[in-house]
Structure 1
Amino acid sequence: MFKIDSFNSPKESAQALAIEIAAQIRRILSVKAHAGLAFSGGKSPILFLQELSQMPLEWGKCRISLVDERVLPLTDPENNALLLHTHFLQNKAQAAPFAPLVLDASVGTEELLKHARASYTQPDLAVLGMGEDGHTASLFACAPEYENALKSPEPIVATTPTSAPFKRLSMSLNALESCQMLYLLISGDQKRAVFERACFALEPSLPISYILHSQKVVCHVYCA
Protein backbone atom coordinates (compact mmCIF):
# COMPACT_ATOMS: atom_id res chain seq x y z
CA MET A 1 0.00 0.00 0.00
CA PHE A 2 1.36 3.41 -0.89
CA LYS A 3 0.39 7.04 -1.35
CA ILE A 4 2.25 9.50 -3.58
CA ASP A 5 2.93 13.21 -3.14
CA SER A 6 4.78 14.93 -6.01
CA PHE A 7 6.83 18.11 -5.77
CA ASN A 8 8.54 20.46 -8.21
CA SER A 9 12.00 20.16 -6.65
CA PRO A 10 14.00 18.05 -4.17
CA LYS A 11 14.06 21.09 -1.84
CA GLU A 12 10.26 21.30 -1.75
CA SER A 13 9.99 17.55 -1.21
CA ALA A 14 12.55 17.64 1.61
CA GLN A 15 10.78 20.51 3.36
CA ALA A 16 7.38 18.82 3.09
CA LEU A 17 8.72 15.53 4.44
CA ALA A 18 10.44 17.29 7.35
CA ILE A 19 7.14 18.98 8.29
CA GLU A 20 5.32 15.63 8.04
CA ILE A 21 7.87 13.74 10.16
CA ALA A 22 7.83 16.52 12.78
CA ALA A 23 4.03 16.23 12.98
CA GLN A 24 4.28 12.46 13.38
CA ILE A 25 6.89 12.83 16.14
CA ARG A 26 4.56 15.15 18.02
CA ARG A 27 1.69 12.68 17.56
CA ILE A 28 3.74 9.74 18.82
CA LEU A 29 5.06 11.67 21.83
CA SER A 30 1.50 12.61 22.75
CA VAL A 31 0.79 8.94 23.50
CA LYS A 32 4.24 7.43 24.21
CA ALA A 33 7.30 8.38 26.23
CA HIS A 34 9.64 8.03 23.26
CA ALA A 35 9.52 8.10 19.46
CA GLY A 36 11.74 5.87 17.35
CA LEU A 37 12.97 7.02 13.93
CA ALA A 38 15.18 5.14 11.48
CA PHE A 39 16.89 7.01 8.63
CA SER A 40 18.60 5.93 5.43
CA GLY A 41 22.04 7.06 4.36
CA GLY A 42 23.37 8.23 1.01
CA LYS A 43 23.11 11.66 -0.58
CA SER A 44 19.36 11.65 -1.28
CA PRO A 45 18.15 12.41 2.27
CA ILE A 46 20.67 15.16 3.09
CA LEU A 47 18.34 18.11 2.37
CA PHE A 48 15.55 16.43 4.35
CA LEU A 49 17.83 15.67 7.32
CA GLN A 50 19.07 19.26 7.41
CA GLU A 51 15.50 20.57 7.37
CA LEU A 52 14.35 18.18 10.08
CA SER A 53 17.31 19.01 12.33
CA GLN A 54 15.98 22.54 12.70
CA MET A 55 12.49 21.55 13.83
CA PRO A 56 11.62 22.54 17.43
CA LEU A 57 10.81 19.11 18.86
CA GLU A 58 11.45 17.16 22.06
CA TRP A 59 14.52 15.60 20.50
CA GLY A 60 15.73 14.12 23.76
CA LYS A 61 12.74 11.76 23.59
CA CYS A 62 13.51 10.63 20.02
CA ARG A 63 15.55 7.48 19.54
CA ILE A 64 17.43 7.75 16.26
CA SER A 65 18.69 4.70 14.38
CA LEU A 66 19.71 3.69 10.86
CA VAL A 67 17.74 1.69 8.32
CA ASP A 68 21.03 0.20 7.14
CA GLU A 69 24.76 0.62 7.49
CA ARG A 70 27.93 -0.26 5.61
CA VAL A 71 30.45 -2.26 7.62
CA LEU A 72 33.04 0.50 7.83
CA PRO A 73 34.83 2.43 10.58
CA LEU A 74 32.73 5.21 12.10
CA THR A 75 35.10 7.79 10.63
CA ASP A 76 34.85 6.53 7.03
CA PRO A 77 33.25 9.09 4.63
CA GLU A 78 30.97 6.30 3.28
CA ASN A 79 29.62 5.55 6.76
CA ASN A 80 25.92 6.33 7.25
CA ALA A 81 26.41 7.14 10.93
CA LEU A 82 28.92 9.83 9.97
CA LEU A 83 26.38 11.23 7.49
CA LEU A 84 23.79 11.52 10.28
CA HIS A 85 26.27 13.22 12.59
CA THR A 86 27.22 15.67 9.83
CA HIS A 87 23.79 16.55 8.48
CA PHE A 88 21.22 15.69 11.13
CA LEU A 89 22.55 15.45 14.69
CA GLN A 90 23.13 19.20 14.63
CA ASN A 91 21.06 22.31 15.38
CA LYS A 92 18.03 21.42 17.52
CA ALA A 93 18.38 17.68 16.81
CA GLN A 94 21.79 17.42 18.47
CA ALA A 95 19.98 16.42 21.67
CA ALA A 96 18.60 13.25 20.07
CA PRO A 97 20.13 9.95 21.27
CA PHE A 98 21.58 7.94 18.40
CA ALA A 99 22.57 4.26 18.27
CA PRO A 100 24.85 3.23 15.36
CA LEU A 101 24.27 -0.18 13.76
CA VAL A 102 28.00 -0.90 13.50
CA LEU A 103 30.39 0.02 16.31
CA ASP A 104 33.41 -2.09 15.38
CA ALA A 105 33.82 -2.90 11.69
CA SER A 106 36.72 -5.26 12.39
CA VAL A 107 34.63 -8.05 13.96
CA GLY A 108 32.95 -10.89 12.07
CA THR A 109 29.43 -10.91 10.70
CA GLU A 110 27.93 -12.96 13.54
CA GLU A 111 29.37 -10.58 16.13
CA LEU A 112 28.06 -7.59 14.18
CA LEU A 113 24.58 -9.13 14.04
CA LYS A 114 24.66 -10.10 17.72
CA HIS A 115 25.38 -6.53 18.79
CA ALA A 116 22.94 -4.92 16.36
CA ARG A 117 20.08 -7.23 17.31
CA ALA A 118 20.75 -6.88 21.04
CA SER A 119 20.57 -3.09 20.85
CA TYR A 120 17.64 -2.97 18.40
CA THR A 121 14.47 -1.09 19.30
CA GLN A 122 11.65 -1.19 16.76
CA PRO A 123 11.27 2.29 15.25
CA ASP A 124 7.86 3.88 14.87
CA LEU A 125 8.79 5.50 11.55
CA ALA A 126 11.43 4.86 8.90
CA VAL A 127 12.49 7.07 6.01
CA LEU A 128 13.71 5.04 3.05
CA GLY A 129 15.60 5.81 -0.10
CA MET A 130 15.74 3.82 -3.33
CA GLY A 131 18.55 3.06 -5.75
CA GLU A 132 18.26 3.06 -9.52
CA ASP A 133 18.30 -0.76 -9.31
CA GLY A 134 15.21 -0.70 -7.08
CA HIS A 135 17.00 -1.59 -3.84
CA THR A 136 15.86 -0.03 -0.59
CA ALA A 137 17.60 -0.13 2.79
CA SER A 138 20.36 -2.64 1.96
CA LEU A 139 17.93 -5.13 0.47
CA PHE A 140 19.60 -5.88 -2.87
CA ALA A 141 18.14 -8.43 -5.25
CA CYS A 142 21.69 -9.44 -6.26
CA ALA A 143 22.80 -10.28 -2.72
CA PRO A 144 23.04 -13.99 -1.83
CA GLU A 145 21.26 -13.17 1.46
CA TYR A 146 18.32 -11.47 -0.32
CA GLU A 147 15.75 -14.20 0.28
CA ASN A 148 16.71 -14.40 3.94
CA ALA A 149 16.35 -10.61 4.25
CA LEU A 150 12.81 -10.88 2.88
CA LYS A 151 11.75 -13.80 5.08
CA SER A 152 13.78 -13.52 8.28
CA PRO A 153 11.90 -12.80 11.53
CA GLU A 154 15.08 -11.12 12.81
CA PRO A 155 15.01 -7.30 12.74
CA ILE A 156 18.58 -6.94 11.43
CA VAL A 157 20.19 -8.99 8.66
CA ALA A 158 23.55 -9.00 6.89
CA THR A 159 23.75 -8.49 3.13
CA THR A 160 26.61 -8.60 0.65
CA PRO A 161 25.49 -6.97 -2.62
CA THR A 162 27.44 -7.87 -5.74
CA SER A 163 26.42 -4.63 -7.49
CA ALA A 164 27.53 -2.27 -4.71
CA PRO A 165 30.56 -2.03 -2.42
CA PHE A 166 30.83 -3.07 1.22
CA LYS A 167 29.22 -5.67 3.40
CA ARG A 168 26.16 -4.22 5.13
CA LEU A 169 23.69 -4.58 7.96
CA SER A 170 20.08 -3.73 7.23
CA MET A 171 16.63 -3.77 8.73
CA SER A 172 14.84 -6.82 7.36
CA LEU A 173 11.59 -6.61 5.42
CA ASN A 174 9.81 -7.81 8.56
CA ALA A 175 11.29 -4.97 10.63
CA LEU A 176 10.41 -2.37 8.00
CA GLU A 177 6.83 -3.65 7.82
CA SER A 178 6.60 -3.48 11.63
CA CYS A 179 6.91 0.33 11.54
CA GLN A 180 3.74 2.36 12.04
CA MET A 181 4.48 4.16 8.77
CA LEU A 182 7.16 4.20 6.12
CA TYR A 183 8.29 7.12 3.97
CA LEU A 184 10.12 6.92 0.65
CA LEU A 185 12.06 9.91 -0.65
CA ILE A 186 13.04 9.82 -4.34
CA SER A 187 14.03 12.33 -7.02
CA GLY A 188 15.14 12.28 -10.64
CA ASP A 189 13.75 10.77 -13.83
CA GLN A 190 15.64 7.48 -13.58
CA LYS A 191 14.44 6.69 -10.09
CA ARG A 192 10.93 7.81 -10.99
CA ALA A 193 10.90 5.32 -13.88
CA VAL A 194 12.03 2.48 -11.60
CA PHE A 195 9.47 3.49 -8.99
CA GLU A 196 6.65 3.52 -11.55
CA ARG A 197 7.64 0.04 -12.69
CA ALA A 198 7.59 -1.19 -9.09
CA CYS A 199 4.13 0.33 -8.58
CA PHE A 200 2.48 -2.08 -11.03
CA ALA A 201 3.11 -5.32 -9.16
CA LEU A 202 5.36 -7.08 -6.69
CA GLU A 203 8.55 -7.84 -8.62
CA PRO A 204 11.33 -9.79 -6.88
CA SER A 205 14.02 -8.03 -8.94
CA LEU A 206 12.87 -4.71 -7.42
CA PRO A 207 13.10 -4.90 -3.61
CA ILE A 208 11.18 -1.62 -3.24
CA SER A 209 8.11 -3.37 -4.69
CA TYR A 210 7.81 -5.43 -1.48
CA ILE A 211 7.37 -2.16 0.42
CA LEU A 212 4.98 -0.58 -2.06
CA HIS A 213 2.74 -3.65 -2.14
CA SER A 214 2.94 -4.50 1.56
CA GLN A 215 -0.34 -5.38 3.25
CA LYS A 216 1.09 -4.52 6.68
CA VAL A 217 2.20 -0.89 6.40
CA VAL A 218 1.48 2.15 4.24
CA CYS A 219 4.43 3.77 2.43
CA HIS A 220 4.11 7.52 1.87
CA VAL A 221 6.12 8.44 -1.22
CA TYR A 222 7.65 11.92 -1.59
CA CYS A 223 8.72 12.33 -5.19
CA ALA A 224 10.44 15.24 -6.96
Structure 2
Amino acid sequence: MAISDLNLPLGMLARSLSDAQQLAETLAADVAAVLRSAIDSQGVATLVVSGGRSPVAFFESLAQQQLPWSRVVISLADERWVPVNHATSNESLVRRHLLRGPAAEARFIGLYQVAGSLEQAALKTDQVLSELPPIDVLVLGMGDDGHTASLFPGSPNLCEALEPEGSRRCLPMQAPSEPRQRLSMTLSLLASARLPLLAIQGSAKLATLAEALSLDDPARMPIRAFLHSPLEIYWCP
Protein backbone atom coordinates (compact mmCIF):
# COMPACT_ATOMS: atom_id res chain seq x y z
CA MET A 1 0.00 0.00 0.00
CA ALA A 2 1.15 3.53 -0.79
CA ILE A 3 -0.11 6.65 0.92
CA SER A 4 -1.66 7.67 -2.40
CA ASP A 5 -3.94 4.63 -2.10
CA LEU A 6 -5.65 6.03 1.00
CA ASN A 7 -9.14 7.41 0.63
CA LEU A 8 -8.40 10.74 2.25
CA PRO A 9 -11.15 13.24 3.04
CA LEU A 10 -11.45 16.24 0.75
CA GLY A 11 -8.78 18.85 1.42
CA MET A 12 -6.53 16.60 3.51
CA LEU A 13 -2.95 16.48 2.25
CA ALA A 14 -0.39 13.67 2.46
CA ARG A 15 3.32 13.63 1.66
CA SER A 16 5.42 10.55 0.98
CA LEU A 17 9.12 10.86 1.90
CA SER A 18 11.92 8.46 1.00
CA ASP A 19 13.12 7.62 4.51
CA ALA A 20 12.99 8.62 8.16
CA GLN A 21 15.75 11.21 7.88
CA GLN A 22 14.12 12.96 4.94
CA LEU A 23 10.82 12.94 6.80
CA ALA A 24 12.45 14.51 9.87
CA GLU A 25 14.25 17.19 7.88
CA THR A 26 11.26 18.04 5.69
CA LEU A 27 8.90 18.19 8.65
CA ALA A 28 11.34 20.38 10.60
CA ALA A 29 11.76 22.82 7.71
CA ASP A 30 8.00 23.04 7.15
CA VAL A 31 7.25 23.53 10.85
CA ALA A 32 9.93 26.21 11.13
CA ALA A 33 8.45 28.07 8.15
CA VAL A 34 5.01 28.16 9.78
CA LEU A 35 6.49 29.29 13.10
CA ARG A 36 8.39 32.11 11.36
CA SER A 37 5.20 33.25 9.65
CA ALA A 38 3.31 33.22 12.94
CA ILE A 39 6.04 35.24 14.64
CA ASP A 40 6.02 37.75 11.80
CA SER A 41 2.25 38.22 12.05
CA GLN A 42 1.63 37.99 15.79
CA GLY A 43 4.99 38.24 17.56
CA VAL A 44 4.93 34.75 19.06
CA ALA A 45 4.45 31.20 17.79
CA THR A 46 3.23 28.12 19.64
CA LEU A 47 4.25 24.55 18.83
CA VAL A 48 2.81 21.42 20.46
CA VAL A 49 4.71 18.19 19.89
CA SER A 50 4.31 14.53 20.79
CA GLY A 51 6.76 12.34 22.69
CA GLY A 52 7.99 8.79 22.23
CA ARG A 53 10.97 7.56 20.26
CA SER A 54 9.82 8.48 16.74
CA PRO A 55 10.17 12.31 16.96
CA VAL A 56 13.86 12.37 18.06
CA ALA A 57 15.28 12.98 14.56
CA PHE A 58 12.61 15.64 13.95
CA PHE A 59 13.45 17.38 17.25
CA GLU A 60 17.16 17.42 16.43
CA SER A 61 16.53 18.77 12.94
CA LEU A 62 14.12 21.42 14.21
CA ALA A 63 16.65 22.58 16.81
CA GLN A 64 19.00 23.48 13.94
CA GLN A 65 16.45 25.70 12.19
CA GLN A 66 17.10 29.43 12.19
CA LEU A 67 14.32 30.93 14.31
CA PRO A 68 13.90 33.71 16.89
CA TRP A 69 13.53 30.96 19.47
CA SER A 70 12.82 33.33 22.36
CA ARG A 71 9.48 34.04 20.66
CA VAL A 72 8.51 30.36 20.42
CA VAL A 73 6.37 28.56 23.02
CA ILE A 74 6.62 24.76 23.07
CA SER A 75 4.42 22.27 24.87
CA LEU A 76 3.51 18.58 24.74
CA ALA A 77 0.37 16.88 23.51
CA ASP A 78 0.76 14.32 26.29
CA GLU A 79 3.01 13.19 29.08
CA ARG A 80 3.70 10.15 31.21
CA TRP A 81 3.03 10.84 34.88
CA VAL A 82 6.65 10.37 35.89
CA PRO A 83 9.22 12.87 37.23
CA VAL A 84 10.86 14.95 34.52
CA ASN A 85 14.20 13.22 35.12
CA HIS A 86 12.64 9.80 34.45
CA ALA A 87 13.91 7.93 31.39
CA THR A 88 10.40 7.79 29.86
CA SER A 89 9.50 11.45 30.45
CA ASN A 90 8.46 13.26 27.27
CA GLU A 91 9.64 16.54 28.79
CA SER A 92 13.08 15.02 29.32
CA LEU A 93 13.09 13.91 25.67
CA VAL A 94 12.22 17.39 24.44
CA ARG A 95 14.85 19.01 26.66
CA ARG A 96 17.58 16.60 25.44
CA HIS A 97 16.83 16.71 21.72
CA LEU A 98 14.98 19.97 20.95
CA LEU A 99 15.63 22.58 23.64
CA ARG A 100 19.36 22.83 23.00
CA GLY A 101 21.64 25.42 21.43
CA PRO A 102 19.69 28.51 20.28
CA ALA A 103 16.41 26.54 20.64
CA ALA A 104 16.97 26.47 24.42
CA GLU A 105 15.67 30.05 24.43
CA ALA A 106 12.14 28.83 23.66
CA ARG A 107 9.60 28.93 26.46
CA PHE A 108 8.57 25.42 27.46
CA ILE A 109 5.25 24.61 29.16
CA GLY A 110 5.40 21.10 30.61
CA LEU A 111 2.48 18.89 31.58
CA TYR A 112 3.91 16.95 34.51
CA GLN A 113 2.75 18.11 37.93
CA VAL A 114 3.54 16.76 41.39
CA ALA A 115 0.26 15.77 43.06
CA GLY A 116 -1.32 13.16 45.30
CA SER A 117 -3.12 11.48 42.42
CA LEU A 118 -3.21 11.47 38.65
CA GLU A 119 -6.57 13.30 38.68
CA GLN A 120 -5.14 16.06 40.88
CA ALA A 121 -2.14 16.33 38.58
CA ALA A 122 -4.44 16.66 35.57
CA LEU A 123 -6.38 19.47 37.25
CA LYS A 124 -3.11 21.31 37.95
CA THR A 125 -1.99 20.80 34.35
CA ASP A 126 -5.35 22.06 33.13
CA GLN A 127 -4.68 25.35 34.91
CA VAL A 128 -1.11 25.56 33.61
CA LEU A 129 -2.39 25.13 30.06
CA SER A 130 -4.62 28.17 30.48
CA GLU A 131 -1.38 30.11 29.85
CA LEU A 132 -0.74 28.35 26.54
CA PRO A 133 -1.16 30.77 23.62
CA PRO A 134 -3.23 29.61 20.62
CA ILE A 135 -1.53 26.64 18.98
CA ASP A 136 0.00 27.44 15.59
CA VAL A 137 1.44 23.99 14.83
CA LEU A 138 0.57 20.60 16.32
CA VAL A 139 2.69 17.56 15.49
CA LEU A 140 1.01 14.26 16.29
CA GLY A 141 2.14 10.66 16.12
CA MET A 142 0.03 7.51 16.04
CA GLY A 143 0.28 4.10 17.65
CA ASP A 144 -0.53 0.76 16.04
CA ASP A 145 -3.79 0.75 18.01
CA GLY A 146 -4.82 4.09 16.51
CA HIS A 147 -4.11 6.17 19.60
CA THR A 148 -2.65 9.65 19.35
CA ALA A 149 -1.31 11.86 22.14
CA SER A 150 -2.36 9.70 25.14
CA LEU A 151 -5.89 9.22 23.85
CA PHE A 152 -5.97 5.43 24.09
CA PRO A 153 -8.85 3.15 23.05
CA GLY A 154 -10.56 1.86 26.19
CA SER A 155 -9.17 4.52 28.54
CA PRO A 156 -11.80 5.43 31.19
CA ASN A 157 -11.81 9.15 30.31
CA LEU A 158 -11.66 8.73 26.54
CA CYS A 159 -15.23 9.80 25.76
CA GLU A 160 -14.80 13.01 27.75
CA ALA A 161 -11.39 13.61 26.16
CA LEU A 162 -12.90 13.29 22.67
CA GLU A 163 -15.68 15.81 23.27
CA PRO A 164 -15.17 18.43 20.52
CA GLU A 165 -16.54 21.18 22.77
CA GLY A 166 -15.18 19.83 26.05
CA SER A 167 -14.15 22.33 28.71
CA ARG A 168 -11.09 20.46 29.97
CA ARG A 169 -7.69 21.11 28.42
CA CYS A 170 -6.08 18.09 30.07
CA LEU A 171 -7.40 14.79 31.39
CA PRO A 172 -5.86 11.79 33.15
CA MET A 173 -5.55 8.84 30.79
CA GLN A 174 -4.65 5.18 31.22
CA ALA A 175 -2.34 3.57 28.67
CA PRO A 176 -2.15 -0.21 28.11
CA SER A 177 1.66 0.08 28.24
CA GLU A 178 4.00 1.13 31.05
CA PRO A 179 3.94 3.64 32.60
CA ARG A 180 0.18 3.43 32.38
CA GLN A 181 -0.68 6.74 34.02
CA ARG A 182 -0.68 9.58 31.49
CA LEU A 183 -1.72 13.19 31.08
CA SER A 184 -3.14 14.21 27.73
CA MET A 185 -4.38 17.32 26.06
CA THR A 186 -7.99 16.82 25.04
CA LEU A 187 -9.45 16.92 21.55
CA SER A 188 -11.00 20.34 22.13
CA LEU A 189 -7.55 21.85 22.77
CA LEU A 190 -5.60 19.81 20.22
CA ALA A 191 -8.16 20.49 17.48
CA SER A 192 -7.75 24.23 17.99
CA ALA A 193 -4.32 24.09 16.32
CA ARG A 194 -4.15 26.18 13.17
CA LEU A 195 -2.02 23.54 11.43
CA PRO A 196 -2.21 19.93 12.66
CA LEU A 197 0.40 17.52 11.26
CA LEU A 198 0.66 13.74 11.57
CA ALA A 199 4.05 12.04 11.17
CA ILE A 200 4.13 8.25 10.73
CA GLN A 201 6.55 5.64 9.41
CA GLY A 202 6.20 2.17 7.93
CA SER A 203 3.61 -0.01 6.25
CA ALA A 204 2.01 -1.05 9.55
CA LYS A 205 1.18 2.56 10.44
CA LEU A 206 -0.20 3.10 6.95
CA ALA A 207 -2.50 0.09 7.41
CA THR A 208 -3.60 1.47 10.80
CA LEU A 209 -4.36 4.80 9.18
CA ALA A 210 -6.40 3.14 6.45
CA GLU A 211 -8.42 1.26 9.07
CA ALA A 212 -9.03 4.45 11.06
CA LEU A 213 -10.26 6.22 7.94
CA SER A 214 -12.87 3.48 7.48
CA LEU A 215 -14.35 3.97 10.96
CA ASP A 216 -17.09 6.31 12.12
CA ASP A 217 -16.44 6.03 15.87
CA PRO A 218 -13.21 7.75 17.02
CA ALA A 219 -13.41 5.96 20.38
CA ARG A 220 -12.28 2.79 18.58
CA MET A 221 -9.22 4.50 17.09
CA PRO A 222 -8.87 8.05 18.46
CA ILE A 223 -6.71 9.27 15.58
CA ARG A 224 -9.98 9.18 13.60
CA ALA A 225 -11.07 12.38 15.34
CA PHE A 226 -8.23 14.26 13.59
CA LEU A 227 -8.52 12.78 10.10
CA HIS A 228 -10.01 15.75 8.27
CA SER A 229 -8.78 18.96 6.69
CA PRO A 230 -6.57 20.87 7.54
CA LEU A 231 -4.56 17.86 8.82
CA GLU A 232 -1.42 17.14 6.76
CA ILE A 233 0.23 13.70 6.85
CA TYR A 234 3.96 13.03 6.53
CA TRP A 235 4.83 9.38 5.87
CA CYS A 236 7.86 7.33 4.89
CA PRO A 237 8.27 3.56 4.38
Matching of residue 115 in structure 1 with residue 124 in structure 2: yes
| Structure 2: distance between partners of 1:3 and 1:202 | 20
Matches within 5 A, 1:25-174: 25-104=35-114, 106-120=115-129, 121=132, 122-151=134-163, 152-163=166-177, 165-174=179-188
| Structure 2: distance between partners of 1:118 and 1:85 | 22
| Structure 2 counterpart of 1:22, one-letter code | A
| Structure 1: distance between partners of 2:93 and 2:143 | 17
State how many pairs are aligned. Answer: 220
Out of 188, 197, 205, the residue aligned to residue 211 of structure 2 is: 197
Which piece of structure 1 moves more, 192-201 or 52-61?
192-201
Task: Check the 8 A contact 1:202/1:210 in 2, yes or no.
Answer: no
| Structure 2: distance between partners of 1:112 and 1:73 | 12
| Structure 2: distance between partners of 1:195 and 1:83 | 26
Task: Check the 8 A contact 1:65/1:98 in 2, yes or no.
Answer: yes
Gaps in structure 1 of 5+ consecutive residues: none
Shift of the alpha carbon at 1:107?
Answer: 2.7
Q: Which residue of 2 aligns with 1:206?
A: 221
Normalised to the residue count of structure 2, the TM-score between the two structures is: 0.88
Which piece of structure 1 moves more, 111-120 or 54-63?
111-120
| Structure 2: distance between partners of 1:22 and 1:119 | 25
| Structure 2: distance between partners of 1:163 and 1:109 | 16
Which secondary structure state, in structure 2, belongs to the residue aligned with residue 69 of structure 1?
Answer: strand
Gaps in structure 2 of 5+ consecutive residues: 1-8
Task: Check the 8 A contact 1:39/1:66 in 2, yes or no.
Answer: yes
| Structure 1: distance between partners of 2:179 and 2:83 | 14
* Identical-residue share of aligned pairs (%): 33
Shift of the alpha carbon at 1:156?
Answer: 1.1
